[in-house]
A and B are shown apart, each in its own frame.
Chain A
Amino acid sequence: MRFVSSSLIYAGSHATRRDFVMLVGGAALSAVPAYAQRPQMPVIGYLGSETPDRYASRLAAFRNGLAEAGYFEGRNIAIEYRWAEGQYRRLPALAKELADRQVTVIVAPGGAEVALAAKAASSVIPIVFEMGGDPIIVGLVTSLSRPGGNLTGVSSLSVEVSRKRLEFMGEMFPSTKLFAFAVNPTSPTAETQLKNLQVAAGSLGLELLVLKASTEAELETLFTTAAQERAGGLVFSSDPYFAYRSPQLAVLAAQHRVAAITQSRDFPLAGGLMSYGGDFEQSHRHTGLYAGRILKGERPADLPVQRVTKVELCINLKAAKALGISFPPALLTSADLVIE
Chain B
Amino acid sequence: MRQSVFKRLVAPRMSLFEKYFVALFAAVVLPLLIAGGSEAWLSYRDRRAGLNSLLDAEARAAASKIQDFMEGIRDQLGWTIQLPWSEEPDDKRKLDAFFLLRQVPAVFSITLLDGSGKERLFVSRIGLNRTESGEDYSASPAVQRAREERVWFGGVTFQRGSEPFMTIAVSGNRAAAGVAVAEVNLKFIWDVISAIKVGRTGTAFVLDRPGRLIAHPDISLVLRADDDATKPLQDLRTAILTRPGEAVAGRDVAGSMVLAAMAPIPGVGWSVVVQQPVAEAFGPIYAALWRTVGLLVIGTMFAAALAYWLTQRMVRPIHVLEDGVSRIGAGQFDHRIEIATGDEFERLAGRFNEMASELALSQERSERIGRLKRFLAPQVAELIDRRGDEHMLDGRRVEAVVVFCDLRGFTAFSTRTEPEAVIHLLGEYYDALERAATKHGGTLTNFTGDGAMVLVNAPVACPDPALSAAEIARDMQTNVQALLVGQRSRTHRLGFGVGLAMGPATVGRIGSEGRLDYTAIGSVVNLAARLCASAADGEILVDDNAARAIGARLPLTALEAQVFKGFDQPVLVFAVKLATTDADGLSLGLSPQPGAGQT
Contact = CB atoms under 8 A, between A and B. Distances in A.
Interface stretch (A85-93, A222-230, A265-273, A307-315): A307-315
Given A144-B160, A304-B162, A161 B125 contact: yes
A304 B220 contact: yes
Nearest to A161: B126
Contacts of A302: 220, 224
B161 A306 contact: no
Interface in B169-200: 185, 187
Contacts of A200: 128
Contacts of B224: 145-146, 302, 304
A143 interface: yes
B118 interface: no
A163 interface: yes
A157 interface: yes
Interface stretch (A8-16, A212-220, A245-253, A328-336): A328-336
Contacts of B94: 330
Q: Which range holds the interface residue count of chain A?
A: 20 to 34
B56 interface: no
A164 B220 contact: no
Interface in B77-135: 94-95, 98-99, 101-102, 105, 108, 125-129
A97 interface: no
B597 to A, nearest CB: 121
A117 to B, nearest CB: 25
Contact of A309 (B99, B101, B185): B185
B223 interface: yes
A167 B126 contact: no
B219 interface: yes
Contacts of A303: 220
Interface string B210-251: 000000000110011110000000000000000000000000
User: Considering residues B105, B185, B219, B224, which has the most beta carbons from chain A within 10 angstroms of its beta carbon?
Assistant: B224
B252 interface: no
Nearest to B158: A145
Contact of A333 (B99, B128, B160): B99
B101 A167 contact: no
Interface in A313-337: 329-330, 333-336
B223 A306 contact: yes
A168 B223 CA distance: 31
B126 A333 contact: no
Nearest to A335: B102
Nearest to A163: B128
Given A144-B162, A309-B187, A310-B105, A167 B223 contact: no
B105 A330 contact: no
A141 to B, nearest CB: 11
B163 interface: yes
A157 B101 CA distance: 16
A281 interface: no
Considering residues A146, A164, A309, which has the most beta carbons from chain B within 10 angstroms of its beta carbon?
Answer: A309
A305 B162 contact: yes
Interface string B119-163: 000000111110000000000000000000000000000101111
Contacts of B127: 163
A303 B163 CA distance: 13
Contacts of B126: 157, 160-161, 164, 311
B131 to A, nearest CB: 11
Interface string B65-85: 000000000000000000000
Contacts of B102: 333-336
A167 B127 CA distance: 10
A124 interface: no
A291 to B, nearest CB: 13
Which of B126, B127, B220 counts the most chain A CB atoms within 10 A? B220
Most chain B CB within a 10 A radius of its CB, from A145, A204, A307:
A145
Contacts of A203: 128
B448 to A, nearest CB: 101
Contacts of B160: 144-145
A169 to B, nearest CB: 12
B128 A309 contact: no
Interface string A288-303: 0000010000000011
A143 B161 CA distance: 8
Interface in A163-197: 163-164, 167
A144 B223 contact: yes
A303 to B, nearest CB: 5
Contacts of A204: 128
A306 B219 contact: yes
Contacts of A164: 125-126, 128
Nearest to B185: A309
Q: Which of A160, A163, A204, A330 has the most CB of B within 10 A?
A: A330
Interface of B: 94-95, 98-99, 101-102, 105, 108, 125-129, 158, 160-163, 185, 187, 219-220, 223-226
26 contacts: A144-B161, A144-B162, A144-B163, A145-B158, A145-B161, A145-B223, A157-B125, A161-B126, A164-B128, A204-B128, A293-B220, A304-B223, A304-B224, A305-B223, A306-B223, A307-B162, A309-B105, A309-B108, A309-B125, A309-B187, A310-B105, A311-B125, A311-B126, A333-B98, A333-B102, A334-B101
Interface of A: 143-146, 157, 160-161, 163-164, 167, 200, 203-204, 293, 302-307, 309-311, 329-330, 333-336
Given A145-B224, A145-B226, A302-B224, 11 more contacts: A157-B126, A161-B126, A164-B128, A167-B128, A167-B129, A203-B128, A304-B162, A304-B223, A305-B223, A306-B220, A309-B108
